[in-house]
Structure 1
Amino acid sequence: MAETPYKISIPDALLERLHKKLELSTLPDELENSGWDYGVPLADIQRLVARWTNGYDWRHHEALLNTELPQFTRPISVDGHGTLAIHYVHQRSEVVGAIPLLFVHGWPGSFLEARKIVPLLTQKSVDHPSFHVVALGLPGFGFSEGASKSGFNIAQHAEIGNNLMLALGYNEYVAQGGDWGHVITRKIAQVYGGKHCKAWHTNTVMGDPPEGFALDTLTDKEKEGLARAEVFFKTGGAYVQQQATQPQTLGYALADSPVGLLAWIYDRLATWADNYPWDDDEVLTWISIYWFSRAGPIGSLRIYFEAISRGDGLAGSGAPPEIPLGLSHFPNDLVVVPKSWSRKLGNVVFDGDHDGGGHFAAYEKPVELVDDIRRMFGRNGPAFGVVPGLSGY
């Protein structure tokens, strides 16, 4: 079946219900001078709730998204799980020989993460390659239908992404992703690499220590990165255990309380980004997509349970993919490992180093991320011409 154009159009009744819930919300107290020590400060939530209740115009932001991003839905089949209605952004370049690129977001993101890079990647220029961009809305996230039974793991997400590209006529393509997008594009590279997926790029740079590793072989910057990762796992990683073990229990709170959903996700937006100047309306648009999502907020949590409690975990499993891999290193991401470790991720042909940037690279540092992708696939780049007949120019 052909793709169906999609416009976000939240029913008035759901908007009215949201405002009623916000008006009836009850907030906890807060200890004096506690700042972020105990979690999101009360003042931040009070300000955001006030704005969400009176002042934030969802219809305005809904219209902007519909104008900026060409959106579609399409039924995509996945083995053992039937057919799911998948929502995605599909922006073609004017360049005939543009390279098809599949962008995969993570949690707590959505297709919205691609908002800033889509117009950059599709630009026509004699100085850099151009891409046809497909930003996949993962099943259970945003306006994509979620799985109806258990066992929908990373392999199934990868199958959805590959099948979508094939359905769009992109039999050969490249992929990019961070966070869960990293795990899913890694699986795509493993399973469909060579035949369909010709190269992949990620801004979530992980990896295990090489054999014989010694701490004194690291630079001071690399030691700082490992220390940062250690602090994150000790003080900020509890959400992983909660979502990986009891997503249903947490789901009741997030499905019923917009304030609970706001606090749960705003905590990550504020602390995972690298001093990104979040505007209140940016935050509320991000949260609203979760609140109005087709599967409800719980739909996005289940990937943790399936992948961590029953699957291969955050790092995945199996032999590293053999197709070309590009890495973008942003120093204030959650996990920052030495390059000697990240080299174990696969056939690394490109490294892009940056002075700033956190977990949401496509949103925080779109120009820098796109520049890395262009250099990787452009003329004189290590992955130039990986998609036969499509140079990007």
Structure 2
Amino acid sequence: MFTRDINVDGFGALNIHYVHKKSKTVDAIPLLFCHGWPGSFLEIRPVLSLLTASSPEHPSFHVVALSLPGFGLDQYAEVTHKLMIALGYNEYVTQGGDWGFLITRRMAAKYGGKHCKAWPHQLSNAGLERTAWYRNKSSGYFVEQSTFPQTLAYGFTDSPVALLGWFYEKLVIWTDDYKWTDDEALTWISIYWFSRAGPGAAHRIYSEVSGDFYDLGRTSYPTIPMGASYFPQELLLLPSAWLRRLNNVVIESHHKSGGHFAAYERPKELVDDVRKMFAKGGPAFAIVPGRSGYA
């Protein structure tokens, strides 16, 4: 784990925390892993050794997973891109879910072609029933975080029990019956409690983009290759036809199980999807010049 100062336009230098693990494969593909809410860089843990594994049978990756700071969407895209450049990865690919999807999509639109080469990510394939459940039964947090984020921030800063209650219910109901241990749940929540910016900073982005949230997918159109991994217990439905119309989808995988935290719940399935996209004969093989990813 490392920290690095990254200059953000209009904000000065921001100290960024990130995980950086290189593969033993020299020409491994640089991959930025971008988490969402209420996740953290910890989501990379189950997939890190799989992504960096060297093999003549599948591509390998140099992996970067940052802790998202409390900024708006454009600033997220800027700081993550600048981090990759600072680490010497002038050309790279990305993977993300939740806010990670929207951030990497913005990166694909702003830096696609020259720097950002492809972006596999996760979606829901559960149909309208799951989407209706989310909107009617599980989206109240979104309204509060979008309208009065600072009110929540005061409560979270004052009471670890309030933070635990707000976060833990998402960990339970947004997964596909994942059996959280006490240590796992408390570690995830402690990342927010002990963060330098405080537990309220992470949901500020909801307020920053709330007026444009449902237009985010239509305001920019990336042309670089996109891969889609569908997990049935994700939160929002994006029909495949819509996704293909708005993006350059080159590969899709539909899974029978898995939820919102796919990298944590179904690490092997997610990594297999990423490998297929960049494998020999795959739609994005050697898309990063000079980097096949094979040992």
Q: How many residue pairs were aligned?
A: 294
| 2:257 is the counterpart of 1:356 | yes
| 2:65 is the counterpart of 1:135 | yes
Partner of 1:99: 29
Taking the aligned partners of 2:215 and 2:171, their CA distance within structure 1 comes to 20
The alignment partner of 1:109 has SS state of: coil
Match of 1:295 among 189, 193, 197: 197
Partner of 1:203: 122
Partner of 1:156: 75
Instruction: State the one-letter code of the partner of 1:201.
Output: P
157 and 239 in structure 1: CA distance in 2 versus 1, 3 angstrom threshold = same
Taking the aligned partners of 2:157 and 2:244, their CA distance within structure 1 comes to 41
Taking the aligned partners of 2:146 and 2:88, their CA distance within structure 1 comes to 35
Partner of 2:92: 173
**1:86/1:139 contact within 8 Å kept:** yes
Partner of 2:286: 385
Match of 1:186 among 96, 100, 105: 105
TM-score, normalising length from structure 1?
0.73
The alignment partner of 2:123 has SS state of: coil
The alignment partner of 1:244 has SS state of: helix
Instruction: State the one-letter code of the partner of 2:240.
Output: K
Deviating beyond 3 angstroms after TM superposition, the runs of 4 or more aligned structure 1 residues are 311-317
Taking the aligned partners of 1:77 and 1:155, their CA distance within structure 2 comes to 14
| 2:179 is the counterpart of 1:277 | yes
Q: Deviations over 1:120-141 (max 9, x none)?
A: 100001110000000011113x
Gaps of 5+ in 2: none
Partner of 2:19: 89
Does 1 or 2 have the higher relative contact order (CA < 8 Å, sep 6+)? 2
Partner of 2:155: 253
**2:123/2:238 contact within 8 Å kept:** no
| 2:128 is the counterpart of 1:226 | yes
Taking the aligned partners of 2:215 and 2:169, their CA distance within structure 1 comes to 20
Match of 1:125 among 44, 52, 55: 55
**2:251/2:277 contact within 8 Å kept:** yes
Instruction: State the one-letter code of the partner of 1:335.
Output: L
Output aligned runs, 1:14-163, within 5 Å.
71-140=1-70, 152-163=71-82
Instruction: State the one-letter code of the partner of 1:368.
Output: E
Whichever of the two has the greater Rg, that structure is 1
Taking the aligned partners of 1:276 and 1:108, their CA distance within structure 2 comes to 15
**1:307/1:313 contact within 8 Å kept:** no
Q: Deviations over 1:163-183 (max 9, x none)?
A: 000000000000000000000
Cα drift, residue 315 of structure 1: 3.7
The alignment partner of 1:341 has SS state of: helix
Cα drift, residue 341 of structure 1: 2.2
TM-score, normalising length from structure 2?
0.97
Q: Deviations over 1:91-149 (max 9, x none)?
A: 00000010000000000011001111111100001110000000011113xxxxxxxxx
Partner of 1:341: 242
Cα drift, residue 235 of structure 1: 1.1
Taking the aligned partners of 1:278 and 1:314, their CA distance within structure 2 comes to 34
**2:218/2:246 contact within 8 Å kept:** no
| 2:256 is the counterpart of 1:326 | no
